[in-house]
Amino acid sequence: MMLLHDLARDAARVRRAAVLATAMLGATPLVAAAAPRHDSTPARISAAAAGVVYGGVTDDGFGLMVETSKSGRKIVRMATGLKLRCTSGDTFNMPDSWRRLSIKKRKFGATFGPETQRNDDGTTVDVEGAVTGKFNRSKTSVSGTWSLKGTEHDATGAVTDTCDSGTINWTAKQ
């Protein structure tokens, strides 16, 4: 549990979802749920600086939040939970989030990875993810897809487990 706490603390320096996924995938055995996130974003944002917040759910039933900038040209942050199903038979839930995405012609999207986490025992975990979204014409709702995948390798490079959310559909409204 201490290793998970240390990795969660270090996540402020790198993309939080990738590090947390690595910690979760590298844990033996895999745990049923991820630890709460320790987001460095201030708890309060003044009303003058705030944009529009959309809320909704994913196909897996997790709550979802999308916050846009006041100008409506950026996603300030968006967050949800994802259910990862592993080839080993394990399943676990974990949070994921994206920040600072540009909105162009009502659309946005981003990908990362694969990013490789090297472990002290010689094993590695490759983590990758993607998100897409599109606002309706009146910008009262937004929908899209979200995915996260982690592939664990032993010290020789052989794949030992793959955990994947698959492509999850989501919708959110003002």
Distances (CA, A) of 47 to 51, 107, 146: 8, 25, 29
Residue 122 belongs to a domain: yes
Tokens for 38? 């320790």
Residue 96, pLDDT above cutoff 60: yes
Per-residue pLDDT of 111-150, as tens digits, reads 999 999 999 999 999 999 999 999 999 999 999 999 999 9
Q: Tell me, yes or no, whether 39 lies in a domain.
A: no
- Does residue 61 carry a pLDDT above 90? yes
93 - beta bridge partners?
A: 33, 83
Q: Which of 3-17, 30-44, 129-143 has the lowest mean pLDDT?
A: 3-17
Asked if residue 164 lies in contact with residue 84, where contact means CB atoms within 8 angstroms, the answer is: yes
Is 104 domain-assigned? yes
Domain with 95, as residue range(s), is 2-33+50-173
Q: What is the pLDDT of residue 97?
A: 96
Q: How many CB atoms lie within 10 A of CB 79?
A: 19
Asked if 33 and 155 count as a contact pair (C-beta separation under 8 A), the reply is no
**75 domain residue, yes or no:** yes
| Total domains in the fold of the chain | 1
What is the mean predicted confidence (pLDDT) over 160-164? 97
Q: Which SS3 state, helix, strand or coil, does residue 71 take? A: coil
Quick count: other Cβ atoms within 10 Å of Cβ 111? 10
Sequence-separated (6 or more) residues with CB below 8 Å from residue 34: 20, 24, 92, 93, 94, 95
The answer as to whether 42 is a domain residue is no
Indicate the average pLDDT of the chain. Answer: 79
Q: Give the pLDDT mean for 96-124.
A: 96
DSSP state of 13: G
pLDDT band at 24 (very low <50, low <70, confident <90, very high): very low
**Is the confidence at residue 43, as pLDDT, over 70?**
no
Whether 155 is covered by a domain: the verdict is yes
Q: Does residue 22 sit within a domain?
A: yes
